[in-house]
Amino acid sequence: MKPSRAEIIKSEAIRLGFSHVGISKAAFLEEEAPRLEQWLSQNMHGKMSYMEKWFDKRLDPRLLVDGAKSVISLLLNYYPEEIQDPTLPKISKYAYGRDYHFVIKEKLKTLMQVITDKIGEVDGRAFVDSAPVLDRAWAKKSGLGWIGKNGNLIHPKNGSFFFIAELIVDLELEEDAPMRDYCGTCTRCIDACPTDAIVSPKVVDGSKCISYFTIELKEAIHHRYESQMDGWAFGCDVCQDVCPWNKFSKPHQEEQFKLIDGLTSLSAKDWDELTDDVFKKVAKESPLLRPGLEKIKNTIRFISHNGEKPA
């Protein structure tokens, strides 16, 4: 029997290295609207003013892509085979290798071309965490997992160490059904969060999150968090590391996500002595370029000053 258009797309996406693919109808996200409005009204986005923009577009993909009929959600595993030495200034696992924006955009461009070749002319856009799209909401709606109490999408067979991307297209495709929530009574992520940023199940106060402090926040980290940074220099994986579902995480097979030599092995002293020229050369196309060297140095000085002294 001839495969459906949805089956063709899923098969090609897996061939390109994506871990899981799901499809949902492009429509208004009714459940997310009041949640997003409340989250913003309580200033849980901190200084991330861009979150206040394009409210309507975040909730309705048809405002982003004319004629949109389907949202194709894709997951790409980034769980590393080799974990960074925990005595060094900690870097979130997603930043071990090449910036995922570059890696995923290349794959999505190829996938769009394959769809055109095998199905016909398609109008649509690719999104990778850089536009007003509620990635986790669409992944959940597309049957790729449920939203855990830490706010992350959790897949029952592979945990939560995934990048999420979308193709919003004008194709009418067979939808996938959402799955139920399997977190149960577990509260390990809430209990383990160093800064108590998970204020209630599935609600993360971004303005208290270590990832926000070390990447998004332009100003100095407030001294009240001096003893709560847990050694993190860039990002934070605590709420994922303690999640029981991540015992099912499997090492990725993406060469571009492998450890960048000379970055994840640096001590606090090494970071302090690192020059901007060397940093830009070694960190070429790395997520670490986003906050920049001076921000990372200041963060490491901050965490080292308070009894958390990475080697």
Please tell me whether residue 97 adopts helix, strand or coil conformation. coil
Q: Which two tokens stand for residue 245?
A: 């579902």
pTM of the complete model:
0.94
- Within 8 A by CB and 6+ apart from 136, the residues are 147, 151, 152, 153, 164
pLDDT in tens, 159-177: 999 999 999 999 999 999 9
Please tell me whether residue 128 adopts helix, strand or coil conformation. coil
pLDDT at 20: 98
Q: Which two tokens stand for residue 43?
A: 């200033």
Alpha helices in 16-92 (DSSP H): 32-41, 55-59
Tens digit of each residue's pLDDT, the chain (311 residues): 889 999 999 999 999 999 999 999 999 999 999 999 999 999 999 999 888 888 999 999 999 999 999 999 999 999 999 888 989 999 999 999 999 999 999 999 999 999 999 999 999 999 998 788 999 999 999 999 999 999 999 999 999 999 999 999 999 999 999 999 999 999 999 999 999 999 999 999 999 999 999 999 999 999 999 999 999 999 999 999 999 999 999 999 999 999 887 788 899 999 999 999 999 998 989 999 999 999 999 999 999 875 444 33
Task: Measure CA 301 to chain center.
Answer: 26
Radius of gyration over alpha carbons of the chain, in Å?
20
Average pLDDT value for the chain: 94
Is 95:288 a contact under the CB 8 Å cutoff? yes
3-state secondary structure 53-64: CCHHHHHCHHHC
pLDDT in tens, 196-247: 999 999 999 999 999 999 999 999 999 999 999 999 999 999 999 999 999 9
pLDDT at 308: 43
Strands of 111-201, DSSP E:
124-127, 146-147, 153-154, 162-169, 198-200
Task: Measure CA 93 to chain center.
Answer: 11
Enumerate the active-site residues.
129
Q: Nearest Cα to 25, choosing from 71, 74, 73, 59?
A: 71
Q: Which residue has the tokens 């100003």?
A: 219
d(CA 305, CA 249): 34
